[in-house]
Structure 1
């Protein structure tokens, strides 16, 4: 049976990506949904994007746009060296792109330009990098930046009283719009969780690969998950991202 697998934030951790693919025994029959932030932090961002471009030839893939992917696209197209970006993983990415050919860079620009803001499947499960703010849902969101920057969706889920059920008027209206919502962007390690974590009907798959955590893949149908080693163990001579 075909698995539907959602992949957390990679942040240039190519070794973690290939390792967790082996652990999860990924096959050509698996559908893969990536939640964004493919780059920044560890030194192999170009290798990650090359891998994903090739993966499209063998697997059904959905690639969501993350905020770090936007930073990289602006740099590759316009030479934009955003100081905030450089402080939060961008410097490693700039260094890793210095020796690439124009042909490869063009392919990466094309990949980044084709990323999705969000994906809604046939059974009303929503996938996006960060969140959204409009109470009527993603189709009504006024600012596309919310899809890859918003943290209020996850913060609301974390703070929600677990005794409030979905039928209550106190239950967040945004949550009621979709059967499940899958996000990354805000590491679960911020709430001392090292694995894919559910709060209300929100599933957060970012398990801190940019920092000291692991890269995770989750089967959305049965909630089985697989993880790489911690990224500092895979890149012992690197520091990853700054907080």
Structure 2
């Protein structure tokens, strides 16, 4: 039986990512969903992108850092986005992108340009919406909510998503906000999940699952296996 994994916010931490693959014994029979922000801050973002896009059993969605890269490298580029990208750790990514051959650079950018904003998966009869940052959760089915997904919210939302009183009839798995930082935004977190967040572990509440465990800031890279909800961590 294949194992289904989700991971997010690698942020250029190549060594931690490959240690994680070894830890979970990732094989050709397994599938890994990567919830964006593979690039920036750490040194290995572009090499990770190049690796991921060549793996038939790794499926990625768009993160806000990939979106910033696209907006900064298109012609004509927007000065605001270039400054925002550089402020958020895009310099190492840009240097690595420039080091690629023209063919590989164009292929890499084309791969990112075609990434979806979200994916829907079902494992063991449970439905999951995989998205980078979150969405405005409303009453209704997953299909109804997905029809209304706003791109900016999918890539950037925080408190509105965390604190919505709606508990959907499916699970939403997201990254974007390191769980330690969620203590500032998520007023609805129960005490036991606040404790987990303080240790940069995954957070589970109101059918929301936060899996960005702060790899960008020297904390943890987290990976969740959906077959049995087993958590895996690699310390940065």
Unaligned runs of 5+ in 1: 158-171, 231-243
* 2:144 pairs with 1:147: no
Quick one: structure 1 residues 134 and 188, their matched pair in 2 at CA, closer, same or farther if it must change by over 3 Å? closer
Q: Report the structure, 1 or 2, having the larger helix content.
A: 2
On the 8 A contact 1:133/1:152 being kept in 2, the answer is no
Deviations 1:181-234 (A, max 9, x none): 10000001223132222122111110001112121111023111222231xxxx
- Aligned residue number for residue 224 of structure 1: 230
**Structure 1 residue 134: deviation in Å?**
5.2
- Aligned residue number for residue 43 of structure 1: 43
- Aligned residue number for residue 107 of structure 1: 107
Q: Report the structure, 1 or 2, having the larger strand content.
A: 2
Question: What secondary structure sits across from 2:49 in the alignment?
Answer: helix
- Aligned residue number for residue 146 of structure 2: 138
Unaligned runs of 5+ in 2: 184-197
Q: Which has the higher contact order (CA 8 A, sep 6+)?
A: 1
Give the whole-Å Cα distance in 2 for the aligned partners of 1:179 and 1:87: 36
- Aligned residue number for residue 66 of structure 2: 69
Give the superposed CA RMSD: 1.8
TM-score, with length taken from structure 2: 0.82
Moved over 3 A (4+): none
Question: What secondary structure sits across from 1:185 in the alignment?
Answer: coil
**Structure 1 residue 43: deviation in Å?**
1.2
144-153 or 73-82: bigger deviation? 73-82
Q: What is the 5 A alignment of 1:205-216?
A: 205-216=211-222
Give the whole-Å Cα distance in 2 for the aligned partners of 1:105 and 1:75: 14
